[in-house]
Structure 1
Amino acid sequence: MRLEPPRRALDYAPLVFPAVMLTVFFVVPFGIMVMVSFFQRQPAGFYTPAFVFASYERFLTAFFGGVLGFSLGLAALVALICVVIGFPFTYELARARRSVQVVWLVALLSILSLSEVVIGFAWSTLLSRTAGISNLLVWLGLMEKPTALTPNFGAVLTGMVYQALPYTVLVLYPAMARLDPTLMEASRTLGAPPLKAFLTVVVPALRNTILATFIMVFVFALGSYLLPQLLGRPQHWTLSVLITDQAIYQSNMPFAAAMAVFLVLVTLALVGLSLLVGRKEIAA
């Protein structure tokens, strides 16, 4: 079957509502944000319409460049860990019995239903000195005394991986479920060990899915806001945290808008790349 191209104006009617929603809730706010990013900030905290590049020039300083680099690096590390852990887990999940799959998928969906606030405070409690897992380690003889494991970079990374891992598994699961099981059977018949067969057969067969999942998780982690604040120190804050700080506490809306514009453009570029990868996979 072949899709027929639209021939009448009425054929475009189903696209009207999504186009209106996209315009009202994304295009217009994004356009306003772009305009505000060029406004001139006044000493009293207000800003006036202008066309200056002061906010973008400040964003290119070493400090905010370091924050941007840290945010991108943290998001990439979270995405890499989630894919490395989630890919083999999803593969085994797709091969399990249906009842086992249902239990795990329900558990993953329940984690996704938790807000970032709940996840942040739960991990801050688990990593605390008084009621955290360090008390269990002391009881097992692995530590001498309870120690607070937060705030630090490891706590931020752990919380963000915990939040993004269910999303990773749910994105990988459909492709894993459609994977032909005879591929592994054929490689095992030809004498390949299980690990080698997995790395040389399954991974190459789903390389586009892996790349698309990495990009999606990267975008998801790039917008993390509460977890870096709850589990980390100021040096572990991401660009999203600084945008809020500049907009609300520093009353510098043009600078916050400039940073937000850059973050949105990076996100859109990565989403477009993931869509391109997905289209190539469907074509293949």
Structure 2
Amino acid sequence: MSAPATAGQRSGGQLPLVFPALMLFAFFVVPFGLMIAVSFFERVQGGFYVPIFTTANYARFLSLFFGEVLLFSLALSAAVSAICLTVGAPFTYLLTRLSRRAQVPWLVAMLAVLSLSEVIIGFAWSTLLSRTAGISNLFAAIGLMDGPDSWSPSFGAVLAGMVYQALPYAVLVLYPSFSRLDPSLAEAARTLGASPVRSFLTVILPAMRTTLIATFIIVFVFALGAYLLPQLLGRPQHWTLSVLITDQAIYQSNMPFAAAMAVFLVIASLLLVLLTTVLGHKGKPA
């Protein structure tokens, strides 16, 4: 029977956690606290801001215009997450059914997309959807269209670019769970007469419910912070809340109002991450 750990041993085991805790406090807690404080300050015309407590910044954020921007950002993030799951779940399932050697090129391709910056992705999609050098020229050449057309800037272009950027994250989050999935589930469904599509929809997906929900939330949080792609591929009415935060902070010199919007965005992201953690614990066997 082992002897109980001494106080020195317990403190020595906790010592490696001190540095990450200090870094978290210095680079997240302190800046976030300052941002919350600034969000209650009052802007001074021709200046910066003064430390006078006011809730006017949050009241302005609840106006019709910014409410529409918030709803658009949430709807766009939800659409990106839904499309990534709709495409990523069957793709990941089929990928995990391949041999290890055949999976490597696909995983390398996913990582290659992740290595691209948002600027490169935005300009690549703007070129692909342009009138002069876009894919519409190919459609016109083979007779599917009367002539080339420009599909950017538009909401569809923003959605396509964000799905392209977020899909590898969804696949890589889903991959471990699909890899550990018991193959006998699908085999039993086929033995009972279910088609491959029906067995996937009625057996595989319900078994992966917790992972699918967690993936949806992770991609949602990722898309909620989109900044460059809405500007490069969309019009001003397609800009997200992150774009308006930058506009208020830099171009309008309204740091308190930008801080109020940023506080809401951070809190929304933290709540969704917390929800993901809770769902992950519920999905674990007791």
Same fold at TM > 0.5: yes
Alpha-carbon RMSD across the aligned residues, in angstroms, is: 1.3
TM-score, reference length from structure 2:
0.96
Q: What is aligned with 1:270?
A: 272
1:101 alignment counterpart = 103
Whole-angstrom distance in 1 between the partners of 2:131 and 2:105: 33
Counterpart of 2:42 (choices 40, 43, 46) is 40
Which amino acid in 1 is paired with 2:135?
I
1:103 to partner: Cα distance: 0.4
Aligned AA (1:172):
L
Distance 1:66 1:6 in 2: 58
1:176 aligns with 2:183: no
Deviations 1:6-64 (A, max 9, x none): 96333321211111111111001000000000011001141001110011010000000
- How do 1:176-255 residues align onto structure 2 when only pairs under 5 Å count? 176-255=178-257
Match of 2:69 in 1: 67
Q: CA deviation at 1:192?
A: 1.4
Residue 184 of structure 1: CA displacement?
A: 0.5
Q: Is the 8 A contact 1:6 1:12 kept in 2?
A: no
Task: Give distance in 1, aligned partners of 2:193 and 2:204.
Answer: 16
Task: Give the match's secondary structure for 1:170.
Answer: helix
Indicate the residue corresponding to 1:147 in structure 2.
149
Q: How does 1:105-144 map to 2 (within 5 A)?
A: 105-144=107-146
Aligned-partner SS, 1:261: helix
What is aligned with 1:29? 31
Percent identical across equivalent pairs? 67
* Distance of aligned partners of 1:201 and 1:5 in 2 relative to their CA distance in 1, 3 Å threshold: farther
Shift of residue 140 of structure 1?
1.2
Supply the distance in 2 between the matched residues of 1:93 and 1:197 (Cα, whole angstroms).
Answer: 17
Structure 1: give runs of 5+ residues left out of the alignment.
none
In structure 2, what is the Cα distance between the partners aligned to 1:205 and 1:55? 45
> Scaled by the length of structure 1, what TM-score is found?
0.97
Which ranges of structure 2 fall in alignment gaps of 5 or more residues?
none
Within 2, Cα distance between the matches of 1:115 and 1:50? Answer: 40
Of the structure 1 ranges 8-17 and 46-55, higher mean CA displacement relative to structure 2 is found in 8-17
Shift of 1:91: 0.0
1:188-244 deviation digits (Å, cap 9, x = unpaired): 111112111111110010000000000000000000000000000000000000000
1:17 paired residue number: 19
Query: Counterpart of 1:242 in structure 2: which amino acid?
Result: L
Mapping of residues 49-64 of structure 1, within 5 Å: 49-64=51-66
- Structure 1 residues 210 and 43, CA gap change in structure 2 (3 angstroms): same
Determine helix, strand or coil for the equivalent of 1:66.
helix
Q: Which amino acid aligns with 2:211?
A: T
Distance in 2, Cα, partners of 1:283 & 1:17: 32
Q: 1:113 to 1:6 in 2, by over 3 A?
A: farther
Give the letter for the 1:46 counterpart: F
Deviations 1:227-283 (A, max 9, x none): 000000000000000000000000000000000000000000000001111112223
